[in-house]
Chain A
Amino acid sequence: MLGKTAGGLFWMFRSLERAENTARLIEAGFRIALTRSSDPASDWKSVIVTSAGQMGYEAKHDGYDSARVTDYLLRDGDNPSSVLSVMKSARDNARLVRTALTTEVWSAVNETWMLLTDVLKDPVPETDLPQVLATIRHQSALVRGALHGTMLRNDIYDFARLGTFVERADSTARIIDVKYYALLPAPSFVGSRMDNVQWETLLRSVSAHRSFRWATNGDYSAANIADFLILDRRMPRSLAFCAAQICDNLEYLAEEYGQETDSLTQARALKARLKDRDINTIFEEGLHEFLNSILTDTGRLGLQIEQDYRFNG
């Protein structure tokens, strides 16, 4: 396979994952701001901070509110992470790697792009927002289904999955980090209304408010939530899950190519850091510091994959 093709697949699926994550963030923010927030501006701000878009946003806007934040995250061409921007990037990359995709995957991405450029051609009124977010989620599911159902499990698939999980690990770590203070075991706040709101935002941002209840029998506590989002191998957006998937896909590549790479070594180390751990040891290490080092490791791993498999020469 061409190095460029591997890179195109990696970035195509990073972009698709980012579109979905952004939509999920907006959904969480929208819900919280609409139903319970005492300070909507700060809730919307934390949505922007989580999407890593604070600088870009503040260069254009002088305050935070639902209309401007959702527009920035959904449609703004100046925002490289807006749903429109990443969908365009996903589709451009899909065209680049067209010969590596099944017709079903290509059609799903192309259709998604056509549909979203149409749905997002004008600002989305608040009344239409749930419908638009549902469309984005629905289309993401379509692409994912086409990938799972029709693609050979070879190196093409591995690079697609690597893009997905590198992006997802990055996104989950960022989401937890923005709200890390809400997870700190500070007894005086536990059980307060404030914490409940923050925790729900967190869980909703990764679409895990229901699976958390199933997995923990509804036992809301800072430690349980942190454990669920960071270490739970059953939870498909947890850091441990992402690290294991990255590691698996690099193992498959090593097997197929008959060569172990530096990225595999790094991925194994990342996976090991998240395996068989007690969440309390992470609190002792410092949650914020821990998350930061995970973000750094993930970023470095992404670059190493790019280099090991010659995405850019």
Chain B
Amino acid sequence: MSDSTAHFSEMMQGQGVRAPYESYNDWFSQQDPARLAKKSDEAEAFFRRTGITFNVYGQADAEERLIPFDLVPRIMAASEWGKLAKGIDQRVRAINAFLHDIYNRQEILRAGVIPVDLIAQNDAFLPQMIEFSPPGDVYTHIVGTDIVRTGEDEFFVLEDNARTPSGVSYMLENRETMLQMFPELFSGNKVQRVSDYPKNLRASLEASAPASCEGRPCVVVLTPGIHNSAYYEHSFLADQMGVELVEGHDLRVVDGHIAMRTTRGYKVVDVIYRRVDDEFLDPLTFDPDSMLGVPGIMDVYRAGNITIANAPGTGVADDKAIYSYMPDIVEFYTGEKALLKNVETFRCSEPDTLQYVLDNLADLVVKEVHGSGGYGMLVGPAATKQEVADFAQKLRAKPHGYIAQPTLSLSTVPIFTDAGLAPRHVDLRPFALVSPSGVDITPGGLTRVALTEGSLVVNSSQGGGTKDTWVLEG
């Protein structure tokens, strides 16, 4: 196995193996590659039969695709994870404090820590949320923080996904697949469990029910429908939690509450885990053409009769322009230095910075402030001259729509190929649950891997795959 020395390898160290991978490496060296290849095919067949697929937007031919699963786990020691988890905990608490502040007293603006324009001009800022506090002041019940690693002790937050982060079903299915394929691995390695996530998610959502709710709260998952790219995940989570999976047309306002249409009439709902974007939530308040939402739900929400998770308007905390201020935001609300580092970020809205970005475009990664899924971004070092030139035009036309970051030297974890193990770049999306009773972070998360040699783009929509992620017992 060869690795370019420029990137941090999470498995290899010189000629040896890093401690967390020792036991795995012993096992792997005794395996017959042909058997592993067969297992890999079996896993793919299993995913397809189970319908663990996603839909790719803008591609007519392939309606449903698999996210490739790689059978080499990504392994972290308890000590490595402990530091990360502490940092995530601090960060999600700060994000919730920030959201509450921004929609109420706006102390952080008064203190001049972040520019007023950043909020005032932000499409994700919802005036409907002003002077309203959701139950327990929790705005982001589910957060998926994207983290990359560049060295032994070098972790950076790449994005705070505080709206409707997806991917947790893959975290769970990947573990399940590994357990079925290689049960022996789990007796030799003490791996922290992820399977409690659905139970914890339900508990966390129930704990966030409105004060007016009596008895056990009724939780539902709201999906845009079977054609949504993450529909599998929506149905999986509803199924695992044992709650109903609803669409907008299953819900309506009845006597000041949200209720779902059942075979026996309307039944009151207390908590909606929605996987529908803000602008589609309520056609009376937001996009009037939306068929995905519930007319009048925002009135019910403001009256305190329903919990929407995540709260509307959380996007103001996770766009890429706000991101650059996160270290200041963490410090402002927690009084402590941010435990997790930010990637250096150039705000193209600032004229001097824009010039710097344009001059160094070939070395930078440029992203849309409101983009996601790896669409509309430029990876300078991987782009052709023409692509760089085209992107420069877009950037000049709308500088405030972009931020730029240095190209990070992402860590690698090997994947299983026909030629044996081969290093590929990875990132990590751990999932944090926030409720009035606290923050709960599932050990590990979803590891995404760029399957193409040298590629830094891990998004599933751009040919990325996933791995099971192990956090070993301490």
Q: How far is the CB of A97 from chain B (nearest CB, A)?
A: 9
**Inter-chain contact B49/A107, CB cutoff 8 Å:** yes
Q: Which of B238, B261, B264 contacts A4 (CB 8 A)?
A: B261
Residues of chain B with a CB closer than 8 A to A99's CB = 235, 238-239, 244-245
Q: How far is the CB of A248 from chain B (nearest CB, A)?
A: 17
Does chain A have a CB within 8 A of B50?
yes
Interface pairs (26), CB distance under 8 Å: A1-B262, A1-B263, A2-B244, A2-B250, A2-B261, A2-B262, A2-B263, A3-B262, A3-B263, A4-B247, A4-B261, A95-B51, A96-B226, A98-B235, A98-B239, A99-B238, A99-B245, A103-B50, A106-B51, A107-B49, A110-B51, A114-B49, A259-B264, A309-B263, A310-B262, A313-B261
A3, A103, A259 pick with most chain B CB within 10 angstroms:
A3
Does chain A have a CB within 8 A of B330?
no
Residues of chain A with a CB closer than 8 A to B281's CB = none
Chain A interface, >50% SS class: helix
Residues of chain B with a CB closer than 8 A to A96's CB = 226
Q: Which of B50, B226, B261 contacts A3 (CB 8 A)?
A: B261
- A5–B246 Cα distance when bound, in Å, is 9
Of chain A, the residue at the smallest CB distance from B264 is A257
Residue-by-residue, is B231-272 near A (CB-CB < 8 Å gives 1, otherwise 0)?
Answer: 100010011000011110110000000001111110000000
Given A106-B51, A107-B50, A95 contacting B235 (CB threshold 8 A): yes
**Inter-chain contact B263/A6, CB cutoff 8 Å:** yes
Residues of chain A with a CB closer than 8 A to B48's CB = 114
17 additional contacts (CB under 8 A) given A98-B235, A313-B261: A2-B250, A2-B263, A3-B250, A4-B250, A95-B226, A98-B239, A98-B245, A103-B50, A107-B50, A110-B50, A111-B49, A257-B263, A259-B264, A309-B263, A310-B262, A310-B263, A313-B249
Residues of chain B with a CB closer than 8 A to A309's CB = 263
- A182–B264 Cα distance when bound, in Å, is 46
A residues whose Cβ falls under 8 Å from a Cβ of B: 1-6, 92, 95-96, 98-99, 103, 106-107, 110-111, 114, 155, 257, 259, 309-310, 313
Q: Which 9 A-B pairs have the closest CB atoms?
A: A98-B235, A309-B263, A99-B239, A3-B261, A95-B226, A6-B263, A99-B238, A110-B51, A1-B263
Q: How far is the CB of B409 from chain A (nearest CB, A)?
A: 41
Residues of chain A with a CB closer than 8 A to B249's CB = 4, 313
- A310–B251 Cα distance when bound, in Å, is 12
Of chain B, the residue at the smallest CB distance from A4 is B250
Residues of chain A with a CB closer than 8 A to B238's CB = 99
- A211–B328 Cα distance when bound, in Å, is 80
- A155–B263 Cα distance when bound, in Å, is 9
B43-76 interface (Cβ within 8 A of A): 48-51
- A107–B239 Cα distance when bound, in Å, is 15
- A257–B267 Cα distance when bound, in Å, is 14
- A257–B260 Cα distance when bound, in Å, is 17
Given A2-B246, A3-B250, A310 contacting B239 (CB threshold 8 A): no
- A95–B48 Cα distance when bound, in Å, is 14
Q: How far is the CB of A2 from chain B (nearest CB, A)?
A: 6
Residues of chain B with a CB closer than 8 A to A4's CB = 246-247, 249-250, 261
- A27–B249 Cα distance when bound, in Å, is 41
- A92–B63 Cα distance when bound, in Å, is 13
Residues of chain B with a CB closer than 8 A to A155's CB = 263
Q: How far is the CB of B70 from chain A (nearest CB, A)?
A: 23
Q: How far is the CB of B371 from chain A (nearest CB, A)?
A: 28
Q: How far is the CB of A6 from chain B (nearest CB, A)?
A: 5
Q: How far is the CB of B243 from chain A (nearest CB, A)?
A: 8
Of chain B, the residue at the smallest CB distance from A258 is B264
- A77–B249 Cα distance when bound, in Å, is 28
Of chain B, the residue at the smallest CB distance from A109 is B51
- A173–B250 Cα distance when bound, in Å, is 34
- A111–B260 Cα distance when bound, in Å, is 32
Residues of chain A with a CB closer than 8 A to B262's CB = 1-3, 310
Q: How far is the CB of A143 from chain B (nearest CB, A)?
A: 14
Residues of chain B with a CB closer than 8 A to A310's CB = 261-263, 265
Residues of chain B with a CB closer than 8 A to A110's CB = 49-51
Of chain B, the residue at the smallest CB distance from A313 is B261
Residues of chain A with a CB closer than 8 A to B245's CB = 98-99
- A313–B250 Cα distance when bound, in Å, is 8
Residues of chain B with a CB closer than 8 A to A257's CB = 263-264
Q: How far is the CB of A167 from chain B (nearest CB, A)?
A: 20
Residues of chain A with a CB closer than 8 A to B49's CB = 107, 110-111, 114
A2, A95, A103, A114 pick with most chain B CB within 10 angstroms:
A2
Q: How far is the CB of A106 from chain B (nearest CB, A)?
A: 7
- A114–B262 Cα distance when bound, in Å, is 31
Residue-by-residue, is B211-228 near A (CB-CB < 8 Å gives 1, otherwise 0)?
Answer: 000000000000000100
Q: How far is the CB of B108 from chain A (nearest CB, A)?
A: 41
- A62–B256 Cα distance when bound, in Å, is 59
Residues of chain A with a CB closer than 8 A to B239's CB = 98-99
